[in-house]
Amino acid sequence: MALAKEIVRSKKTVNRLHENKAQVNSISMHLGESIAIARTVGHLSKSAEVMKLVNNLMKAPEMETTMREFSKEMTKAGVIEEIVNDALDSALDSEDIEEEIEEEVDKVLTAIAGETAAQLPEAVRKERMKQPSRVQEVRREEEAIAEGVDDEEELEEIRARLAKVRS
């Protein structure tokens, strides 16, 4: 019987030890959680300090003014680009009109002067075939400008050609 009492007592002691171990593990987990919360609070306070410094460095009214000016400049650039594109389109369209006008003049001359006038436009056309057309010159100049011609002499040459085309 003494042995049975000792077995019962040792089982109760083992159960108490398991309960104590579970409580110690629970306390350990609560302490780990408390440490994690303390670290998070520390990090949040440092983040708040950094945000305050950034707000002090970045002045919102000045930034707003700068952004408005930037927006206005971008709008101007867009308008200028549209104007230039419209001007180029109309210039290229006028070249087509000039060619049509020349063809009509040739027809009228042919009707009035007969064969002599008919031979004259052919000679003029043959001469034009040897030289690049104005439209091609304008396109080459536009391509050179788009490619960003850096050489000042080439730029002056392009300007001179453009002046000839316009006149």
Q: Is 67 exposed, middle or buried (0-12, 13-18, 19+ CB in 10 A)?
A: exposed
* pLDDT higher than threshold 50 for residue 139: yes
Residue 118 to residue 111: CA distance in whole angstroms: 9
Which residue blocks in 58-151 are alpha helix, DSSP H?
Answer: 60-113, 115-130, 134-146
Res 36: pLDDT: 95
For residues 46-71, give the mean pLDDT.
86
Tokens of 166: 């316009």
* pLDDT higher than threshold 70 for residue 142: no
**Residue 92: Cβ within 10 Å count:** 14
- Residue at token pair 């369209």: 93
pLDDT digits (tens, 9 = 90+) for 73-119: 888 878 888 887 877 777 666 666 777 777 787 777 667 665 554 55
